[in-house]
Chain A
């Protein structure tokens, strides 16, 4: 009887609560709702709150999705004219969307092009020269490593010395082999029984995009011709990654899984190829390892992974308000604020001499001059053409490499497998 009453009152409460929620909504309708489709941490909470505080008549409605799903729903939204006012687009999809500039509003002149890294700016320019997106952050890519584990396995811990260990990717693999050879017998045995696989790097597969992005070209010539099977840069990235996979330095844990989070905390791996935006993730997930991490240079020069742009679709309902938000949120001054709060590395190169950026340090990463390290890395990067079906091609190379990682295929068999798959599946 008593249980029934409490259940009933709980139900009543639920009904009342849902009614109230429904009731509140029309009250906010007086504000202009600017809808944003986003993923990950492109629009940081501080930016949202601060903008709404400065503009009380604007209500930013952010719909977060997973990265791939965000872009896939955009395609259908374009077809159905149900686009948001602002769409976040990741660089691996920018090649696709810039092939269809007619679906976007021209953002030329909204912000000063000269304030931004030129190659990053170009990723948001449509094939007809229309500015369809403005860059948010630059991935930047460096090596985050565990000092305590390096010391325990006979490697130097000082970031200068660590950077010198691996001028090339082959040297990086060799360092990994040294590290793995010094694992305790128990740790080595652990992987044979497939319990916990200890290794040098979390996942050797992450080397592939890192090496690929250091080249001048990827899968496309700048006129759109496919060159994935003839470009030496692709082959080098593929074979080097396959070599790393076969050398036993990788724990083969997939990034952003629970095993990865746990492994980071428990010291299962000693290095992660970390874009600037990942540092915050490491900090949040492995709080107890504070001070044990440091950041060193990436093998083979500067690197990049990820980064986004904000676009205003042609079918946006509030284009003026959308543009106003982009103008504010992506201005160099706010990019600096976002970097300080969340570590998203700015695409505004006008900040790269700003002491607030270059002098930025983080206790979690042993006070490494993170700002300086990522600035140097970003400056070394050359522009690289992102083609239309790049994301799909990336997938097929990734799948082929995964077969190497689990020992199902040799590197050369996997290469020809990937080439066949791509030629069969990439049609337009």
Chain B
């Protein structure tokens, strides 16, 4: 009985907000709104008869999976971070906070952190600019074979990372690589050692990542560009705004949320860069002098080359903390953007 009462109460609670919204005199699309809220009410009435406890059953599979494959390993890795954990050994030595204090003074960790952010920068920022550019081209209604171009953009994304790394490894060869060959033709006096030097190697890896994700992000930008109401451009045309002005003052501001989204997803991916540097260097150290060792590669090296699972777990916890800090910054930025939207 109480269940039925709950479900009856639910739509009641929401009703006032709906009423308030539809009565808001400042909203221009007033009639549309009320229609939509009617529809919503109907759906709610449709579900009303169902016992809401069923909801838990529907979401349970995810939470069971999450507990087994998500939370349990997290707790386990926090646990082993306090040990000198030998993966195949029988007795583990309790270490206390040693792994964490060792990590803070480990120069290799800071090198990995620096490399990760450097690769992230070179892969995310130019990629975003190029993706917006590509999306603007694809948006052009006069473009022939638009579907073909949009489809082909996704091809790099479904290519295996390993295959990409092998091909790019050859392109970026020092002596006989195509990139150096092309640069020489363009008049560059000496070959760049793409693999052995830190900055060039970061750019090489960033190129790999960019090549793979550019099309995907371009499509996301394209989707949100197509959602921009065309009357904005029409009125801008009437006011005599140039194409660039339209891009700068209509397209870009309207893309703000998408840019934030792409940036967040890019940052999450950027902190996990692993396969590209691994395959490019052919070892777990990220190149002969750690020039492109990333955080996840460093974690892997400690776990599987040095057999220090406890230390690797400590690195994992540090990565989590870094992700949390970055997420907090992202959250703050997003909130500021949305509050600016409200001001407008």
Contacts and interface: CB of A to CB of B under 8 A. Distances in A.
Given A75-B88, A96-B307, A392-B305, A398 B177 contact: no
Contacts of A117: none
Contacts of A254: 195, 282, 288
B139 interface: no
A202 to B, nearest CB: 11
Contacts of A96: 307
B176 A408 contact: no
A253 B174 CA distance: 8
Interface stretch (B11-19, B183-191, B229-237): B183-191
A392 B307 contact: yes
Contact of B311 (A78, A196, A427): A427
B7 interface: no
B102 interface: yes
B42 interface: no
A408 B287 CA distance: 14
A252 to B, nearest CB: 8
B156 interface: no
B84 A427 contact: yes
A419 to B, nearest CB: 15
Contact of B306 (A68, A196, A259, A425): A425
Given A256-B282, A392-B306, A428-B308, A79 B88 contact: yes
B169 A257 contact: yes
Interface in A367-391: 389, 391
B190 to A, nearest CB: 4
A424 B102 contact: yes
A197 B193 CA distance: 11
Given A193-B189, A258-B177, A426 B282 contact: no
Contacts of A403: 288-289
A72 interface: yes
Interface in A90-148: 96, 99-100, 103
Given A193-B189, A194-B190, A427-B308, A259 B176 contact: yes
A426 B308 CA distance: 8
A257 B289 contact: no
B276 to A, nearest CB: 15
Interface residues on A, range: 35 or more
A406 B284 CA distance: 20
Interface string A174-213: 0000000000000000000111110000000000000000
Given A424-B106, A428-B89, A395 B283 contact: yes
A349 interface: no
Contact of B196 (A72, A251, A406): A406
B239 interface: no
Contact of A399 (B102, B176, B193, B289): B289
Contacts of B212: none
B290 interface: yes
Contacts of A68: 283-284, 304-305
A395 B286 CA distance: 11
A96 B86 CA distance: 11
A218 to B, nearest CB: 17
B282 A194 contact: no
A391 B305 CA distance: 7
Interface of B: 84, 86-89, 93, 102, 106, 108, 169-170, 173-177, 184, 189-193, 195-196, 282-285, 288-290, 302, 304-308, 311
25 contacts: A66-B282, A78-B88, A194-B174, A194-B193, A196-B176, A197-B175, A253-B175, A254-B195, A256-B282, A257-B173, A259-B177, A262-B176, A268-B175, A389-B307, A392-B305, A392-B306, A398-B288, A403-B288, A406-B288, A424-B106, A425-B302, A425-B306, A427-B308, A428-B89, A428-B307
Given A193-B189, A402-B196, 13 more contacts: A72-B304, A195-B191, A253-B175, A256-B282, A257-B169, A259-B173, A259-B174, A395-B283, A399-B290, A406-B288, A424-B102, A427-B84, A428-B86
